[in-house]
Amino acid sequence: MEHTENTPELEKLPLGPDDFSPATAGEKESLVVMRESINFWADGFRRLRKNKIAMVSLFFILLIVIFAYVLPSFWPYTYDQQIKYSENLSAFEYGKTELARIEAGESVFPHICGTDKLGRDFAVRLMMATRVSLTVGIVCSICVLVIGATYGAVAGFSGGLVDDIMMRFTDILYTIPDILLIILLSITLKPRILALAETPGFEWMQKVGANLIAMFIVFALLYWVGMARITRSQVLVLKESEYVTAARALGAGNGRIIRKHLLTNCIGTLIVTTTLQIPAAIFTESYLSFLGLGVSAPMPSLGSLATDAVKGMNTYPHLLLLPAILISVTILVFNLFGDGLRDAFDPKLKN
Amino acid sequence: MSEKLLEIVDERLSFFTPAGEVKALNGVSFSMEEGEVLGIVGESGSGKSVTAYSIMGLTAYPGRLIGGTIRFNGHQVDQMSEKEFRKMRGNEVSIIFQDPMTSLNPVYTIGNQIEEVIRLHTDKSKTEARARAKELLELVGINEPEKRLRQYPHELSGGMRQRVMIAIALACEPKLLIADEPTTALDVTIQAQILELMQELRQKMGMSIIMITHDLGVVASMCERIAVMYAGHIVEYGTTDEIFYHPSHEYTKGLIGSIPKLTTEESERLVPIEGQPVDLLNPPAGCPFAPRCRSCMKICLKKMPPKTRLSDTHYSYCWLRQKEAAEGGHEA
Amino acid sequence: MGKYIVKRIAMGILSVFIVATLTFFLMNLVPGGPFVAEKSISKAAQEALEAKFGLDKPLLQRYTTYMTDFLHGDMGFSLRQRGRTVSDIIFSKFPVSARLAGIAVVVALCVGIPLGCISAYNRGKLADNFIIVLGTCGIAIPSFISSVLLLYTFGSWLKILPTMGLNDAVSYIMPVTALAIYPTAYITRLMRSSLLDVMGQDYIRTAKAKGLSSFMILFKHALRNALLPVIAYVGPMLASLMTGSFVVEKIFTIPGLGREFVSSITNRDYTMIMGTTIILAALVIAANVIVDILYKIIDPRIKLK
């Protein structure tokens, strides 16, 4: 009975003899809907753009960058300018002389966030502090990247005894409490670098800020260990992969293999780790400022602004809250953006 | 007609991914008798595993059954709750997975993992379960079972672990055993041992087996019936002899043409199947194999071919067979 | 196992030794000395003091003297707190910090692990998103900021919690909270991602295919594997809590070791710096050894060399 489904099915359909003629290759092609193949970066950026949290974080990061690097140039006050009779103003308040100037018909730019106890405009101090904290975060992360990635790549690539010794060294560094190391390094290095900046040939250091440079070095010396470990493990995996064997068989030298094959393949991981290093550095800098070991006065950092405000927090809570919120938000958006980058470019790195 | 052990009618299943609906199964129908060994062959992504997993309610998120019925051993599987599934899994139907290296929990002993399933589905005491576990290890050909029970998965070789997986699957004497590429991850010599073991166990215990594989050699040696799957369709179904000696779908012919044979002359070359599998996000309107088919006709690109019955046990979905049948009919 | 422990302890002692040596030379590189800051004393008195503590000797000789004394259990006198030995100070301050850090660890584990599980279990749902937001905020707030904010809100403004010292149980609330926020948030995130990772493993599918309930799968098969990274984090966490507690101790005026440590560095109290550094490093290394052994107990795959 079931056999009846054979031919009648065919007769029901409006088919002509042409339907049973061979299809051309063109006809076949036109029906195959091939999705265009997407390369690694395009695919990653597509995923990143779809990630709302990451995009909102990126927007905030841009805002913070503008706030820190662009706005101060247009601001009518500077971070170390002390205005007499305008001490401890609250938001949008004017000092004695400023009121007099306003009465005389001059326009005086308002102190949006008030002033501190030395009569410095707090808004511009916040901007400069953010600039310092961001610079510390970004430059330190880049130093960490350079040192850590090089060390890790060399260790992983050399293998054997060299690898063992190099990694044993990082193990020991890892067991030293990092706050201890950072405090020791910063009190050891800072006076030396300050002295170095005085010597001829190194004046450029004063321009950048000698204590900022000290901070970069301290952080780079401390945090490269994690980066080195990540890079090494990536290199170890990649080293075993077939395309490296193939490159070697074709006579490529070690340097070329490291540059061309290994680094390009772990670049996703490196970018993600570096991005996540930025908030960590900002975090630590604020700690050091709290201990009085951070950036020195009159240059402010977010941590030092918050610390300065602790004593007067009952009377002037906004001086504490504003930098506190700014630090937390900066760390938060960098963390969120870093997480987004990781999801987009390096899904296997998820913890 | 006797009650079938398993009967799947027009099963449709899709994965609702962010990129769109991936139509993994597009109307799969087949049935199995008790004690029968069915092989499901096809390439990756053809829906072999998805079909088998759906019988156990193991469809991975975001997959969802969107049509058709599945009856197994008196259960209306497509309407079962998770609780009913739990009672059935490991008990009436069991599964062996592809990779024995990762399918056992690394932090528990072999004994613990076998006893777990016994104690879950029977009311055996701890000591009885241990005795049964030992018996099972002997059954699957593991020597020194006492010692093995106390060992952890990482202390065993791949072949041994697959035997343990089989022991776990058979612990409650299931009616149906699903073997999802059970030998793919193993060495060739171990593969043969595992297949031999499975055949031996089937004779001893009389369960049905669904053998999922892309290796035609495996099905040839083990199965009575074969279903060939392509892009979420069963494109051909028949006894092992029918499939091997009278393949009727162009895809099946391609598969068989790509197996190396000892008798192959040097001048004869293996014939690969050209092209790429279809994109299940946008499946074509016609036969899914058409774009790769050597004998593709215009109709093939437009319309899915109907079923062509070739014998009581053999059918396929191919316009060429329809054409032959029609021509044969006209001539007659 | 015994052999492994012995080996690990030997490695640990070596590490402590390296840390001690490093610290000794680093701190002596720092310009200034313990008595320079005190303007009240004359140059002659300062030199007399330096002679008394042997600071006029060459660096290498001081190093060997310190190390031999240390091996005999003598950590010397504090240079700044006259008449008190370093071990005296450490043994009076250490329990305070240890209790604080210990409670914070327990809080972090007891809150972080369940939160992480709930989050992973409700993946993509409201509860999950809420916990992710909390966790991400938690790791973004430095502890001195959370301390100060807590102090301001509950101490100065609402006046419901004591602002200083550790005199009764209530006074522990704020310092422990401030200390535990970061590790709790970190553990929550770690637990969530680890559990999600484990839930995708093949053996979870096997457990499901056996007919186990999702409760059993979570608690028997997933949790034990997912806890491994969390356990690995406990060692470093303890270390960062012990050394990181100085901020909290300073803000809540708690007489702990962390505060002692920082003030000894700023005061160039060489013997105190050495003493606290060695104790802290030994503690961190001991915690790591214990964690490694625990790891072995939970995960039989880890082979102890």
Quick: pLDDT tens for A133-160.
898 889 889 999 999 988 988 888 787 8
Q: Residue A201: its pLDDT value, please?
A: 72
Give the C-alpha distances (Å, rounded to integers) separating C150 from A225, C8, C145, C157. Answer: 34, 41, 8, 10
Higher-confidence residue of C15 and A298: namely: C15
- Chain B: closest CA distance from residue C197 (Å): 13
Q: What is the pLDDT of residues C85-126, one digit of tens each?
A: 888 888 888 888 888 888 999 999 999 999 999 998 888 889
A53 touches chain C (CB under 8 A): no
Q: Residue B29: its pLDDT value, please?
A: 92
User: What whole-number distance in Å separates Cα of residue B233 and Cα of residue C116?
Assistant: 41
Higher-confidence residue of A4 and C45: namely: C45
Q: What is the pLDDT of residues B86-134, one digit of tens each?
A: 999 999 999 999 888 889 998 899 999 999 999 999 999 999 999 999 9
Give CATH superfamily name and number for C95-266.
Answer: MetI-like (1.10.3720.10)
User: Residue with structure tokens 């993509």?
Assistant: C124
Residue ranges of chain A whose pLDDT lies below 50: 1-10, 349-351
Q: Which residues from chain A sit within 8 angstroms of residue B17, using beta carbons?
A: none
B309 touches chain A (CB under 8 A): yes
User: What whole-number distance in Å separates Cα of residue A41 and Cα of residue C157?
Assistant: 51
Dihedral angle of Cα A215, A216, A220, A221, to the nearest 10 degrees: -40
A20 touches chain B (CB under 8 A): yes
Cβ contact A332–C15 (<8 Å): no
Contacts 24+ apart (CB under 8 A), B64-68: B64/B13, B64/B14, B64/B15, B64/B16, B65/B11, B65/B12, B65/B13, B66/B12, B66/B13, B66/B14, B67/B10, B67/B11, B67/B12, B67/B27, B68/B8, B68/B9, B68/B10, B68/B11, B68/B12, B68/B27, B68/B28, B68/B29
ipTM attached to this prediction: 0.84
B224 touches chain C (CB under 8 A): no
- Chain A: closest CA distance from residue B281 (Å): 10
Q: Residue C236: its pLDDT value, please?
A: 75
Q: Does position B265 have pLDDT exceeding 70, yes or no?
A: no
* Band of residue B41 on the pLDDT scale cut at 50, 70, 90: very high
Element (H, E) at C229: helix C223-251
* Nearest CB to B322 within list A10, A23, A27: A10
Q: In terms of CA atoms, which chain C residue is nearest residue B52?
A: C209
B303 touches chain A (CB under 8 A): yes
Give the C-alpha distances (Å, rounded to integers) separating C52 from A87, C43, C57, C63, C269. Answer: 49, 14, 11, 16, 14
Percent of chain B with pLDDT over 90: 45
User: What whole-number distance in Å separates Cα of residue C219 and Cα of residue B116?
Assistant: 14
Higher-confidence residue of B224 and B271: namely: B224
Give the C-alpha distances (Å, rounded to integers) separating C259 from C36, C146, C234, C268. Answer: 22, 18, 23, 14
Domain ranges of chain C: 95-266
Q: Residue C302: its pLDDT value, please?
A: 63
The amino acid occupying position C120 is A
Q: What's this model's pTM, rounded to 2 decimal places?
A: 0.80
User: What whole-number distance in Å separates Cα of residue A38 and Cα of residue A46?
Assistant: 10
DSSP characters for B254-267? Answer: HHHHTS--TT--TT
How many CB atoms are closer than 10 A to CB A158?
15
The C-side interface with B (CB below 8 A) comprises: 201-203, 205-213, 220-221, 224-225, 298-301
How many Cβ contacts (< 8 angstroms) between chains A and B? 68
**If DSSP codes are grouped into helix, strand and coil, which group holds residue B179?**
strand
Contact of B167 with B139, CB cutoff 8 Å: yes
Q: Which subunits sit against A, judged by 3+ Cβ pairs under 8 A? A: B, C
Cβ contact B295–A22 (<8 Å): yes
Q: Residue C32: its pLDDT value, please?
A: 65
* Nearest CB to C284 within list A175, A188, A283: A175
Residues 110-169, chain C: which have Cβ within 8 Å of A? 136-137, 139-142, 144-145, 148-149, 152, 156
- Cα B127–chain centre separation: 35
Q: Does position B331 have pLDDT exceeding 50, yes or no?
A: no
E strands in A164-305: none
Interface with chain B: mutation pick from A31, A37, A46, highest number of B CBs within 10 Å:
A31
Cβ contact A27–B326 (<8 Å): no
Cβ contact C243–A180 (<8 Å): yes
Which of A277, A189, B97, B143 minimizes the C-alpha distance to C205?
A: B97
Cβ contact A306–C288 (<8 Å): no
B117 touches chain C (CB under 8 A): yes
B40 DSSP β-pair partners: B212, B227
Cβ contact B89–C210 (<8 Å): yes
Q: Residue B8: its pLDDT value, please?
A: 93
Q: Does position C304 have pLDDT exceeding 50, yes or no?
A: no
